[in-house]
Each structure stands twice: as C-alpha cells, then as structure tokens.
Chains A and B, each alone.
Chain A
Amino acid sequence: MIEIQNLSMKLGEFSLKNINLAIGDREYFVILGPTGAGKTIILECIAGLHRIKQGEIWIDGNNATRRAPEERNIGYVPQDYVLFPLLNVADNIAFGLRQMNCTKTQIVEKVKDLSNLMSVSHLLNRDTRSLSGGEKQRVALARALALSPKVLLLDEPLSSLDLQTSKYLKMELRHIHNKTGITTLHITHNQMEAEELADRIDILNMGRLEQVGKPKEVFFYPENESVSDFIGAPNILACDAFRTLGQGLAEVNCRGLRIILPYDCGQIKRIALFPRDIYISDTQPPGPQVNRFKGITTSIKLSGSVVRIEARIGENTLQAEMPHDIFEDMDLTVGKEAFLILKLRGIRIFEDEES
C-alpha cells in the first residue's frame, strides 16, 4: 500500500538517509524512534508536505512523489491534533467534505456516522478549544477519516494524553483499524505503545531505518547496538530447555541458569529482562531461592544517576542497574561476589509461534 524507495532528504542539519520501506494493505505499521529521529519528516513526506528531491513514494500502486497532498487520499492526524479553533466539532469533521463539494445531506450523514464511530456525537456543537485531550484526539481522527482515505497517518497520537486516556484510546485505535481496515502508519517514541498496537514496527534512529519486524522479533532479536539501546538494552537469554510447572509457571534453562517464569502456552525460545528488573546486592538476601543467583561482578559503569553493573553467572552475563545513591551504600567492586534477583513480572517471553 505504501512504498518508500531510496528516500533521502536534508532539512537543515538533519537528514533522512536512504529510507526504504514497504507497508502492506490493511497493516498497522508503527515507526518507533527517539525524539529527533526523523519520524515526523517521514510522515510528512508521505503526506506530501515536503518536496522530495531524492527517492520515490508510492501509495496504492501509484507514484505519489510529485502529487500534491490533496491528491494523495490520505488522512493525517498531527501531533496535538491541530483542530481548527474557529470551527466547532461538527465543522472540523466536515471541513474536508466541504472541500470535496459534497452536498449538505452527504455532509450531515457522514458527520453523523463518523461522530458515532468515534463517540463524539454529543460534542458536535462544542468549541474545539474546550475539549479534553482524548476528545480532541477522537475529533481529529473523525476529521481525518471523513474523506475515506486509503492511508491513515498518525503523528504521536497518544503522546499528550494521560496514562488512563492513552490506554483507552490505544484500544480505540486498534478497534477503528480493525473496523475500517485502513492502512495505518503510526509514529511514536513509546515502545509499549508500539508493541501493543503494531502488526510490524520499524526502528528509526538519526534519520536511518535500523530494523523492521514484528514487535517481539525486534525486541528479542535486535540487529544492532543502537536498536538494543533504544529498547532499553535488555538482557536476552536463549532457552535451551523448558518444562511446565503447572499453575501458570514454567522453568527454563538458559545455559545452566534455571529461571522460573509465568507461562501461558507455546515453546519458549528466548527470554528478556531489563537491567532495571534485576536487583543486585553485595550480601545474600533472605527468602526463597527462586530466580536468585550468585555471580561475580565483572564491570561497573556510572551512567548519569544510575550505575550499570555487569555480573557473570556461569556462562551468562547479566546487566543490572540501580540508583547511584543505593550503589554507594553497597560494597560492590569488580571481581567480588554479587547476588542477583530476577523480578518475575519483568521477565518477557519470546515464544515459537509455530508451536
């Protein structure tokens, strides 16, 4: 549905470098990257808001590189929604329909349908400046969907919402995508958001696409250090064997490390643990010896206000992190014994889908 071929662009000091991307029909695709990675520029290139000098953009089988934005049949929801302040909710939704010279009956009908779909029918006469963040987002989506676009472009649609609203609207976005089947390109810097919504994600860093794949593939098989760093540099352990323990638990063996974890179904191939989910101590902590290991400290690095500690346990090396002030109270030095506790809830599992 969307194909970007060899797209390069320079905007001041920033440049997009040879972007190649293919997004399938009805796919929910997320470009994930840190602030300043060039996500919005890619989105605006697809929308036709930048003149492209190098590369091509194809939408629905047609070369759209030189097409004006109004000829591309796309729906665009910018960051912070950018609703027209002089128009009420109904007029905002109807704006695009008016440009297409739709009849009054068609406009009324479509506004009604969209406002019902987005649950904003009770807000139609409201001034857009008085809406909450979640309401604005739904109105912006309705406005973008009014022209029945082939592609929906969402620029950080959940970034300015509180956690609760964002959680709810995430489900809404997925529901709308399933219902309308519109190919959706969503950009975000939020990893959880990308993992929950995307069919496939693409990591973008400093104007370069680093890795494309299903969310779990990218997370468990980062292709380079930059991707691994961006997703939080998790400890990834390959599992040699596993056995179910019942009651939703399983035990995996990762090169001699026996770890108990929550288990649903499938063959566990890899597990991941963020350094923040590994507690490390210089003394043996009391309590049951589940997911607790003794190792040797191999490296200690100060990184801002946190300390990253690497410890070797048999054949595995695990990275843990802790606040600097807590580290100062401990007697942890390179070569000394360290005790590690893996947080059960922090363990993430990559299962073999075929099984």
Chain B
Amino acid sequence: MKFVFVVPGIILARVTVVSALAIRLLKSTFDGIDPRYEKVGRTLGCSKPGVFFKVTLPLAKDGLIAAGILTWARAVAEFGATVTLAGATAMKTETLPIAIFLSLASADVEKAIAVIFLLIIIAFAALLAIRKITGRRFPI
C-alpha cells in the first residue's frame, strides 16, 4: 500500500500523531473507574470478559466518547506529519490545515480566513459536545 503523497498517507500520519493522545485519554478513563465495580460484577455472575462489557465499558462510555472527540479534533488540525508524508497537493491531499497553508502560499487570504473560521467552529463544536456528553465532569 502506498502512503507517500496519497490519501492513505494522511490517515497514517494522523493516526501516528494522535494515537499517543488517544491511548493516554483511554488509560485515564479506565484508570478512573473504581476496580470494585468489576469485583462486585464478578460476584454477581459476570465472567471476566462479561464484566468488561457489562460493567466497565458502560461506566467508561462518557470518557470514551470524550476521548474520541478530543482525538478527532486533534487529528483534524494535524499539519506537520501530514504535509511531510502526504505532501500538500490541492484537491488531492488537501486537509483543512493544508488548505490554509496553500491559500496563504497563493496569497488567497479570504479562503485562508474562511478555513480558519471553519476550524474554530469545529473546535467549539467539539468542546460543546464534550461538555454535553460528560455533563461538565471534565474541566475544559
């Protein structure tokens, strides 16, 4: 599979960059769950995999969604690794940050500002979504 200067390159670059953040968020979500819930679940008839799906995962749901949104928001704004691996080709490997870069490079300030506003709207939408999902449990 080819990654250089093609769309799979964008995906690979973003996954590489955000996976560390995603793992950290997932770890803190699961670490935040009191292990006694699993212990009680086991004594109430759940097997080991059963207790994960019936107790731990539902308890982690909010955290997992919040982690997903934060990771996605970080991926949308990724520039460095993407431009290095997938290049900056208009209409081919043109992500939002690359679109800003290309617009500024061609002195198209209006388009750059429009895309910047689009990114800002995405960022605010992500924050609002997390607040709604987690019920302000995570200070953001």
A49 — nearest CB in chain B belongs to which residue? B39
Interface residue? B106 (CB, 8 A): no
Is the C-beta of B91 less than 8 angstroms from some C-beta in chain A?
no
Q: Are B47 and A85 in contact (CB under 8 A)?
A: no
* Contact A85 B44, CB 8 Å, known A47-B39, A99-B50: no
Please report which residues of chain B, range 32-72, place their CB below 8 angstroms from some CB of chain A when the two chains form the complex.
Answer: 34, 36-37, 39-48, 50, 54-55, 58-59
Nearest B-chain residue to A75, judged by Cβ = B43
- Identity of the chain A residue whose Cβ is nearest the Cβ of B55 in the assembled complex: A84
B42 touches A70 (CB 8 A): yes
Interfacial chain A residues near B50, Cβ < 8 Å = 99
Instruction: Find out whether the CB atom of A86 lies under 8 angstroms from the CB atom of B58.
Output: yes
Q: A76 at interface (Cβ–Cβ under 8 A)?
A: yes
Known: A84-B55, A85-B59, A99-B50. A76 touches B40 (CB 8 A): yes
B-side contacts of A69, CB under 8 Å: 39, 42-43
Q: Which of B34, B42, B46 contacts A82 (CB 8 A)?
A: B34
Of the candidates A44, A72, A146, A147, which one forms a contact with B39 in the assembled complex, judged by CB atoms under 8 Å apart? Answer: A44
| Inter-chain residue pair count (beta carbon < 8 A) | 57
| Contact between chains at B46 and A70 (CB < 8 Å) | yes
A221 within 8 A of B: no
B42, B44, B55: residue with the most chain A Cβ atoms closer than 10 Å = B44
Q: In the assembled complex, which residues on chain A have CB atoms less than 8 Å from the CB atom of B43?
A: 47-49, 69-70, 72, 74-76, 144
- B42 and A49 within 8 A (CB): yes
Residues of B within 8 A of A (CB-CB), count: 18
Known: A84-B55, A86-B58, A86-B59. A78 touches B40 (CB 8 A): yes
Max chain A C-beta neighbours (<10 A), residue from B39, B41, B45, B59: B45
Residues of B within 8 A of A100 (CB): 45
Expressed in whole angstroms, the Cα–Cα distance for A85 and B34 within the complex equals 11
Chain B residues with CB under 8 Å of A76's CB are 39-40, 43
Instruction: Assess whether A189 is interfacial by the CB under 8 Å rule.
Output: no
CB distance from A288 to the nearest CB of B (A): 56
Residue numbers of B with Cβ under 8 A of A are 34, 36-37, 39-48, 50, 54-55, 58-59
**Known A82-B34, A82-B40; further 19 A-B contacts with Cβ < 8 A:** A47-B39, A49-B42, A68-B42, A69-B39, A70-B46, A72-B43, A74-B43, A75-B43, A76-B39, A78-B40, A82-B36, A82-B39, A86-B59, A95-B41, A96-B44, A99-B44, A99-B45, A99-B54, A100-B45
27 contacts between A and B (CB under 8 A): A44-B39, A47-B43, A48-B43, A49-B39, A49-B42, A68-B42, A68-B47, A68-B48, A69-B39, A70-B42, A70-B46, A74-B43, A76-B39, A76-B43, A78-B40, A82-B34, A84-B40, A84-B59, A95-B41, A96-B44, A96-B45, A99-B45, A99-B46, A99-B50, A99-B54, A143-B44, A147-B45
What 8 A-B pairs are tightest by C-beta distance, nearest first? A99-B45, A96-B44, A69-B42, A76-B43, A82-B36, A70-B45, A69-B43, A49-B39
